[in-house]
Chain A
Amino acid sequence: MSMLNIFSVAGSAVSAQSQRLNTVATNLANADTVAGPDGQSFKARQVLFQTQPMGDQGAAGVRVAQVLEDQTPGRRVHDPKHPAADADGYVTYANVNAVEEMVNMISASRSYQNNVEVMNTAKTLLLKTLQMGQGS
Chain B
Amino acid sequence: MLDRLSDPLAFQSEALVLRAERQRLLASNIANADTPGYVARDMDFATALRQATGAQALPQSMATTHAGHLAPKTGAASEPGLLYASASQTNLDRNTVDMDRERANFADNAVKYEATLRFLNGSVSTMLNAIKGQ
- The answer to whether B58 has its CB under 8 Å from any CB of chain A is no
Write out, one digit per residue, whether chain B residues 91-118 have a CB within 8 A of any chain A CB (1) or not (0): 0000000010001001100100110010
Q: With A and B bound together, what is the CA distance between A56 and B78 in angstroms? A: 11
The interface residues of chain B, by DSSP majority, are classed as helix
Question: What interface size band does chain B fall in?
Answer: 35 or more
State the Cβ distance, B124 to closest chain A Cβ, in Å: 4
State the Cβ distance, B15 to closest chain A Cβ, in Å: 13
The interface residues of chain A, by DSSP majority, are classed as helix
State the Cβ distance, B44 to closest chain A Cβ, in Å: 14
Q: Which residues of A contact B120 (CB under 8 A)?
A: 132-133
Q: List 27 A-B contacts (CB under 8 A).
A: A2-B20, A3-B23, A6-B24, A6-B27, A10-B30, A51-B38, A57-B78, A58-B24, A58-B25, A58-B28, A58-B41, A58-B82, A60-B32, A60-B38, A61-B31, A108-B34, A118-B30, A118-B31, A118-B106, A125-B23, A128-B117, A132-B121, A132-B124, A133-B121, A133-B125, A135-B121, A136-B125
Residues of A within 8 A of B (CB): 1-3, 5-6, 9-10, 12-13, 17, 20, 48-51, 54, 56-62, 107-108, 111, 114-115, 118, 121-122, 124-125, 128-129, 132-133, 135-136
